[in-house]
Protein backbone atom coordinates (compact mmCIF):
# COMPACT_ATOMS: atom_id res chain seq x y z
CA UNK A 1 0.00 0.00 0.00
CA UNK A 2 1.54 3.27 -1.11
CA UNK A 3 -1.18 5.28 0.68
CA UNK A 4 -1.65 8.79 -0.68
CA UNK A 5 0.91 9.88 -3.25
CA UNK A 6 1.44 13.36 -4.67
CA UNK A 7 3.46 14.55 -7.63
CA UNK A 8 5.47 16.62 -8.16
CA UNK A 9 7.21 17.21 -4.82
CA UNK A 10 8.28 20.70 -5.85
CA UNK A 11 7.39 23.00 -8.74
CA UNK A 12 8.28 26.51 -9.85
CA UNK A 13 5.82 28.30 -12.11
CA UNK A 14 5.69 31.70 -13.71
CA UNK A 15 2.63 33.87 -13.24
CA UNK A 16 -0.04 32.87 -15.75
CA UNK A 17 1.21 29.35 -16.33
CA UNK A 18 -1.05 26.39 -15.74
CA UNK A 19 -0.30 23.08 -14.12
CA UNK A 20 -1.91 20.05 -12.52
CA UNK A 21 -0.98 18.70 -9.12
CA UNK A 22 -1.50 14.96 -9.07
CA UNK A 23 -2.93 12.98 -6.17
CA UNK A 24 -3.58 9.25 -6.06
CA UNK A 25 -4.58 6.82 -3.35
CA UNK A 26 -4.63 3.03 -3.40
CA UNK A 27 -6.83 2.47 -0.35
CA UNK A 28 -10.16 2.55 -2.22
CA UNK A 29 -11.21 5.63 -0.26
CA UNK A 30 -14.32 7.45 -1.40
CA UNK A 31 -13.51 10.77 0.19
CA UNK A 32 -10.66 12.97 -0.99
CA UNK A 33 -9.68 16.56 -0.22
CA UNK A 34 -7.16 19.19 -1.19
CA UNK A 35 -5.70 21.59 1.39
CA UNK A 36 -3.15 24.35 1.18
CA UNK A 37 -0.83 25.28 4.01
CA UNK A 38 0.53 28.80 4.26
CA UNK A 39 2.81 30.19 6.97
CA UNK A 40 0.74 31.29 9.94
CA UNK A 41 -2.49 30.09 8.33
CA UNK A 42 -2.77 26.41 9.13
CA UNK A 43 -4.37 24.16 6.52
CA UNK A 44 -7.30 25.44 4.49
CA UNK A 45 -9.67 23.28 2.46
CA UNK A 46 -9.67 24.02 -1.29
CA UNK A 47 -11.93 21.37 -2.82
CA UNK A 48 -13.19 17.97 -1.83
CA UNK A 49 -14.86 14.94 -3.39
CA UNK A 50 -17.23 12.39 -1.89
CA UNK A 51 -16.84 9.93 -4.74
CA UNK A 52 -16.08 9.55 -8.43
CA UNK A 53 -17.87 12.26 -10.38
CA UNK A 54 -18.76 14.34 -7.32
CA UNK A 55 -16.77 17.39 -6.21
CA UNK A 56 -17.50 20.50 -4.19
CA UNK A 57 -15.82 23.68 -3.04
CA UNK A 58 -14.09 24.18 0.24
CA UNK A 59 -13.01 27.34 2.02
CA UNK A 60 -10.60 28.73 -0.62
CA UNK A 61 -11.62 27.36 -4.07
CA UNK A 62 -10.90 30.39 -6.26
CA UNK A 63 -8.23 29.79 -8.90
CA UNK A 64 -8.43 26.01 -8.64
CA UNK A 65 -10.36 23.31 -10.49
CA UNK A 66 -10.78 19.66 -9.64
CA UNK A 67 -12.31 16.58 -11.18
CA UNK A 68 -12.76 13.02 -9.97
CA UNK A 69 -13.08 10.59 -12.84
CA UNK A 70 -11.85 7.60 -10.84
CA UNK A 71 -11.87 6.61 -7.18
CA UNK A 72 -8.07 6.62 -7.10
CA UNK A 73 -7.20 10.01 -8.59
CA UNK A 74 -8.07 13.56 -7.59
CA UNK A 75 -6.00 16.10 -9.56
CA UNK A 76 -5.91 19.79 -8.70
CA UNK A 77 -5.58 22.22 -11.59
CA UNK A 78 -4.26 25.76 -11.53
CA UNK A 79 -5.46 27.39 -14.76
CA UNK A 80 -3.48 30.63 -14.45
CA UNK A 81 -1.03 30.60 -11.58
CA UNK A 82 -0.67 33.67 -9.36
CA UNK A 83 1.98 34.48 -6.72
CA UNK A 84 -0.78 34.19 -4.07
CA UNK A 85 -0.95 30.48 -4.90
CA UNK A 86 2.58 29.93 -3.64
CA UNK A 87 1.97 27.38 -0.92
CA UNK A 88 2.35 23.77 0.14
CA UNK A 89 -0.51 21.62 -1.11
CA UNK A 90 -1.71 18.50 0.64
CA UNK A 91 -4.06 15.87 -0.68
CA UNK A 92 -5.95 13.67 1.79
CA UNK A 93 -8.30 10.71 1.61
CA UNK A 94 -10.56 8.80 3.97
CA UNK A 95 -12.76 5.71 3.76
CA UNK A 96 -15.70 6.87 5.78
CA UNK A 97 -17.08 10.34 6.32
CA UNK A 98 -17.56 9.86 10.03
CA UNK A 99 -15.14 9.03 12.78
CA UNK A 100 -12.45 8.03 10.33
CA UNK A 101 -9.20 9.83 10.04
CA UNK A 102 -7.91 11.38 6.88
CA UNK A 103 -4.63 10.14 5.46
CA UNK A 104 -2.48 12.90 4.03
CA UNK A 105 0.01 12.78 1.21
CA UNK A 106 3.55 14.17 1.60
CA UNK A 107 2.67 17.48 -0.05
CA UNK A 108 3.64 19.50 -3.14
CA UNK A 109 5.60 22.70 -2.62
CA UNK A 110 4.63 25.26 -5.26
CA UNK A 111 6.42 28.53 -5.94
CA UNK A 112 4.81 31.01 -8.34
CA UNK A 113 7.10 33.80 -9.52
CA UNK B 1 -12.74 35.06 11.15
CA UNK B 2 -10.67 32.21 12.50
CA UNK B 3 -12.94 29.51 13.87
CA UNK B 4 -10.20 27.33 15.34
CA UNK B 5 -7.47 29.12 17.24
CA UNK B 6 -4.15 27.91 18.52
CA UNK B 7 -2.79 30.96 20.24
CA UNK B 8 0.64 29.58 21.08
CA UNK B 9 2.82 29.38 17.97
CA UNK B 10 5.44 27.42 19.87
CA UNK B 11 6.06 25.47 23.07
CA UNK B 12 9.28 24.12 24.52
CA UNK B 13 9.38 21.43 27.23
CA UNK B 14 11.93 19.13 28.79
CA UNK B 15 11.97 15.42 28.02
CA UNK B 16 9.87 13.49 30.53
CA UNK B 17 7.70 16.48 31.44
CA UNK B 18 4.12 17.12 30.39
CA UNK B 19 3.34 19.02 27.19
CA UNK B 20 0.00 20.84 27.07
CA UNK B 21 -1.19 22.22 23.74
CA UNK B 22 -4.29 24.36 23.70
CA UNK B 23 -6.99 25.04 21.14
CA UNK B 24 -10.06 27.28 21.22
CA UNK B 25 -12.97 27.33 18.80
CA UNK B 26 -15.76 29.77 18.12
CA UNK B 27 -18.21 27.76 16.01
CA UNK B 28 -20.73 26.14 18.35
CA UNK B 29 -21.71 23.72 15.53
CA UNK B 30 -18.36 21.93 15.79
CA UNK B 31 -18.94 18.53 17.31
CA UNK B 32 -15.87 16.52 16.42
CA UNK B 33 -12.29 17.49 17.14
CA UNK B 34 -8.98 16.05 16.06
CA UNK B 35 -5.29 16.59 16.63
CA UNK B 36 -2.81 16.06 13.83
CA UNK B 37 0.95 15.94 14.09
CA UNK B 38 3.23 17.14 11.32
CA UNK B 39 6.94 16.66 10.81
CA UNK B 40 8.84 18.87 8.32
CA UNK B 41 8.46 17.84 4.66
CA UNK B 42 5.75 15.32 5.53
CA UNK B 43 1.97 15.35 5.49
CA UNK B 44 0.01 15.63 8.73
CA UNK B 45 -0.73 12.38 10.53
CA UNK B 46 -3.73 11.74 12.73
CA UNK B 47 -3.01 11.62 16.45
CA UNK B 48 -6.20 11.54 18.48
CA UNK B 49 -9.81 12.68 18.28
CA UNK B 50 -12.75 13.42 20.53
CA UNK B 51 -16.46 13.68 19.99
CA UNK B 52 -18.49 16.40 21.65
CA UNK B 53 -20.36 13.78 23.66
CA UNK B 54 -17.16 13.08 25.60
CA UNK B 55 -14.93 15.29 27.68
CA UNK B 56 -11.82 13.13 27.61
CA UNK B 57 -10.14 10.63 25.33
CA UNK B 58 -6.89 8.79 26.00
CA UNK B 59 -4.51 6.94 23.75
CA UNK B 60 -1.27 5.93 25.40
CA UNK B 61 0.74 9.01 26.25
CA UNK B 62 -1.79 11.31 24.57
CA UNK B 63 -4.96 12.63 26.17
CA UNK B 64 -7.36 15.15 24.73
CA UNK B 65 -9.69 17.11 27.00
CA UNK B 66 -12.77 18.94 25.76
CA UNK B 67 -14.55 21.73 27.64
CA UNK B 68 -17.63 22.49 25.57
CA UNK B 69 -18.86 25.34 27.71
CA UNK B 70 -15.54 27.13 27.28
CA UNK B 71 -15.17 25.99 23.65
CA UNK B 72 -11.69 24.80 24.55
CA UNK B 73 -9.73 21.64 24.05
CA UNK B 74 -6.25 20.63 25.04
CA UNK B 75 -3.81 17.89 24.17
CA UNK B 76 -1.66 16.48 26.97
CA UNK B 77 1.45 14.47 26.19
CA UNK B 78 2.91 12.61 29.16
CA UNK B 79 5.79 11.96 29.29
CA UNK B 80 7.10 14.08 26.45
CA UNK B 81 9.80 12.58 24.25
CA UNK B 82 12.20 14.22 21.77
CA UNK B 83 10.44 12.36 18.95
CA UNK B 84 7.28 14.30 19.81
CA UNK B 85 8.91 17.46 18.47
CA UNK B 86 6.65 18.50 15.60
CA UNK B 87 3.89 20.94 14.65
CA UNK B 88 0.55 20.01 16.18
CA UNK B 89 -2.66 21.05 14.47
CA UNK B 90 -6.05 21.18 16.10
CA UNK B 91 -8.95 20.55 13.70
CA UNK B 92 -12.72 20.53 13.96
CA UNK B 93 -15.75 19.51 11.97
CA UNK B 94 -19.49 20.07 12.25
CA UNK B 95 -20.83 16.62 11.42
CA UNK B 96 -24.33 17.27 12.64
CA UNK B 97 -24.73 20.09 10.13
CA UNK B 98 -23.24 18.26 7.19
CA UNK B 99 -19.56 18.53 7.89
CA UNK B 100 -17.30 15.56 8.13
CA UNK B 101 -13.77 14.39 8.41
CA UNK B 102 -13.06 15.50 4.88
CA UNK B 103 -14.17 19.07 5.59
CA UNK B 104 -11.97 20.01 8.49
CA UNK B 105 -11.24 23.47 9.82
CA UNK B 106 -7.68 23.66 11.10
CA UNK B 107 -5.92 25.90 13.55
CA UNK B 108 -2.60 27.52 12.67
CA UNK B 109 -0.58 24.93 14.55
CA UNK B 110 1.79 24.90 17.53
CA UNK B 111 5.44 23.93 17.15
CA UNK B 112 6.38 21.65 20.04
CA UNK B 113 10.05 21.22 20.86
CA UNK B 114 10.98 18.56 23.40
CA UNK B 115 14.51 19.06 24.68
CA UNK B 116 16.58 16.04 25.79
Q: What are phi and psi of B95, to 5 degrees?
A: -65, -35
Per-residue pLDDT averaged across A92-104, rounded? 78
Residue A100: pLDDT over 70 = no
Q: Go through chain B and tell me how many residues it has.
A: 116
| Contact flag A42-B107 (C-beta cutoff 8 Å) | yes
Give pLDDT tens digits for B25-84: 999 989 889 999 999 989 999 999 998 899 999 999 999 999 999 999 999 999 999 999
Residue B96: pLDDT over 80 = no
Give pLDDT tens digits for A16-66: 999 999 999 999 999 999 999 998 788 999 999 989 999 999 989 999 999
* pLDDT for residue A98: 59
Residue B99: pLDDT over 60 = no
Q: Are strands B86-93 and B32-38 parallel, antiparallel or unpaired?
A: antiparallel
- Contact with chain B for residue A98, Cβ under 8 A: yes
In SS3 terms, chain B reads as CCCEECCCCEEEEECCCCEEEEEEECCCCCCEEEEEEECCCCCCEEEEEEECCCCEEEECCEEEEEECCCCEEEEEECCCCHHHCEEEEEEEECHHHCCCCCCCEECCCEEEEEEC
Least confident of B4-18, B31-45, B83-97: B83-97
- Contact with chain A for residue B97, Cβ under 8 A: no
Nearest-CA distance from A45 to chain B in Å? 7
B98 band by pLDDT with thresholds 50, 70 and 90: low
- Contact with chain B for residue A74, Cβ under 8 A: no
A90 vs A102, more confident: A90
Amino acid sequence: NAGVTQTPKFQVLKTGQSMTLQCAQDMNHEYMSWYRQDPGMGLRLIHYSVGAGITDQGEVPNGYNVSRSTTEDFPLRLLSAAPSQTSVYFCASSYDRFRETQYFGPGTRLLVL
Amino acid sequence: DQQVKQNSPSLSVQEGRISILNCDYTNSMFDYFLWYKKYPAEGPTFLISISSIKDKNEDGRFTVFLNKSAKHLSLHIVPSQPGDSAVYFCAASAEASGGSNYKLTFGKGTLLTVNP
